């Protein structure tokens, strides 16, 4: 019979050591001399910052319901950002045209292409394959929508603040620094500020299964739920009021929001085989884990099994041996 308290302490220490090692490399002296680059996630997924995925920065609304956000204090000043709903521990202020799940598609795909090179270099891509990657055709109207989205991502000002593993992070700026479209060649050139890398600090981002997200295209509430619950390897129960607040739903009455939420959950079930269980107003989502999360959960289960199977009375395994084992963290940053 293993010692549950010791197992928990070892797992916690393991994660702390891993986080500190990664943070040390991230903030190493002289690191500013190296090109600032995004993490290299695999091709089938897209990297998304948890601070964004756990907030209403990309609203679960259709495009026709966008609003202008910001506080105008005087005509000669730029509008101040308004507070965007977000999970506890995350503070977001935004000024500009409201962003939605279509803008999230554009943002994540642009980041995906930019990860191959230093952030301040131009990321060059053709419009047609980019549109296909976000589930759109290369019709003229879709090019116009893409242009409009890139403008919103460039013109909006965002302040994001969060804490994790004892570190305090702040990002301030535009989600996209600049973009140019050559109409004849349909070539796009997009740049990101190197500060965008802060959003991808250790344990601060998630690998989104892109095929799953694209299967939900046209269902913004289902896409928001997919993004939010993807940031947790084993999603915990949340209340109806919690979701209503954190996604800043424009639907005022909870009973109407519940209907919308149930329809979105039905879409997730029919499309991705996600299960949802209601206990009063408390929702528990059960979903097949992604490939990376499945490996993470399997490693934890195997480690727990090994510890519990060790006979009592024998000498304890040195902590260094245990920590070099399989108590790893998920690639889907939690």
- Give the pLDDT confidence score for residue 305 in this predicted structure: 78
Q: What is the pTM of this model?
A: 0.78
Pairing verdict, β 99-100 and 58-59: parallel
| 58 neighbors 224 (Cβ within 8 angstroms) | yes
Cα distance between residue 223 and residue 96, in whole Å: 22
pLDDT at 3: 60
pLDDT score, position 302: 79
| Best CA proximity match to 111, nearest among 158, 177, 57 | 177
pLDDT at 120: 84
What pLDDT is recorded for position 78?
80
pLDDT of residue 110: 98
Torsion angle (degrees, nearest 10) of CA 302, 303, 308, 314: 130
| CA gap 233, 90 in Å, rounded | 19
For the chain, what is the largest distance between any 2 Cα atoms, rounded to a whole number of angstroms? 76
Domain ranges of the chain: 35-288
The residues, ordered by sequence, that sit 6+ positions from 92 with a Cβ below 8 Å of its Cβ are 51, 55, 57, 83, 84, 86, 158, 159, 160, 161
Per the structure block, which two tokens stand in for 165? Answer: 């593993």
Query: pLDDT tens string for the chain (334 positions)?
Result: 556 555 555 555 554 454 444 444 444 555 456 789 999 999 999 999 999 999 999 999 999 999 999 998 877 778 899 999 999 999 999 999 999 999 999 999 999 999 999 998 999 999 999 999 999 999 999 999 999 999 999 999 999 999 998 899 999 999 999 999 988 888 999 999 999 999 999 999 999 999 999 999 999 999 999 999 999 888 899 999 999 999 999 999 999 999 999 999 999 999 999 999 999 999 999 988 666 666 666 777 777 777 776 665 544 444 444 444 433 334 444 3
Sheet holding 178-182, edge to edge: 123-126, 187-191, 178-182
pLDDT of residue 185: 84
Q: Residue 205 and residue 185: Cα distance in Å, rounded? A: 34
3-state secondary structure of 185: coil
Token pair for 285: 């989502």
Q: Distance between CA 50 and CA 141 in Å, rounded? A: 31
Structure tokens at 92: 């977001």
Per-residue model confidence (pLDDT) at position 326 = 38
Please give the full DSSP string across 95-110, using - where no structure is assigned: EEEPEEHHHHHHHHHH
Phi, psi of 76 (to 5 degrees): -85, -5
- Roughly how many angstroms between the first and final C-alpha of the chain, as a whole number? 29
């Amino acid at each position: 019979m293993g010692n549950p308290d010791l197992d928990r302490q070892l797992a916690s220490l393991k994660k702390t050591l891993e986080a500190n090692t990664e943070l040390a490399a991230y903030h190493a002296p002289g690191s500013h001399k190296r090109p600032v680059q995004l993490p290299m996630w695999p091709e089938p997924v897209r990297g998304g910052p948890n601070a964004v995925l756990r907030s209403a920065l990309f609203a679960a609304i259709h495009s026709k319901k966008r609003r202008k956000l910001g506080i105008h204090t005087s005509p000669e000043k730029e509008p101040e950002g308004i507070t965007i709903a977000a999970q506890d521990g995350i503070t977001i202020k935004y000024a500009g045209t409201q962003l939605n799940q279509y803008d999230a598609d554009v943002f994540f795909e642009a980041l995906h292409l930019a990860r191959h090179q230093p952030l301040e270099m131009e990321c060059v891509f053709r419009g047609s394959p980019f549109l296909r990657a976000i589930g759109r055709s290369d019709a003229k109207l879709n090019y116009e929508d893409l242009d409009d989205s890139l403008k919103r991502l460039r013109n909006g000002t965002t302040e994001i603040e969060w804490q994790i593993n004892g570190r305090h992070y702040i990002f301030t700026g535009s989600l996209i620094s600049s973009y140019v479209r050559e109409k004849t060649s349909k070539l796009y050139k997009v740049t990101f500020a190197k500060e965008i890398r802060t959003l991808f600090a250790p344990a601060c981002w998630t690998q989104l299964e892109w095929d799953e997200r694209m299967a939900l295209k046209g269902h913004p509430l289902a896409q928001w739920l997919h993004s939010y619950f993807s940031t947790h390897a084993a999603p915990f129960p949340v209340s109806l009021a919690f979701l209503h607040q954190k996604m800043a739903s424009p639907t005022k009455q909870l009973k109407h929001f519940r209907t919308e939420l149930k329809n979105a959950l039905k879409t997730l079930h029919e499309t991705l085989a996600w299960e949802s269980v209601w206990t009063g107003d408390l929702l528990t989502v059960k979903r097949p884990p992604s490939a990376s999360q499945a490996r993470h959960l399997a490693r934890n289960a195997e480690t727990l099994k090994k510890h519990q199977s060790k006979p009592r009375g024998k000498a304890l395994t040195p902590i260094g041996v245990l920590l070099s084992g399989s108590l790893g963290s998920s690639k889907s940053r939690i």
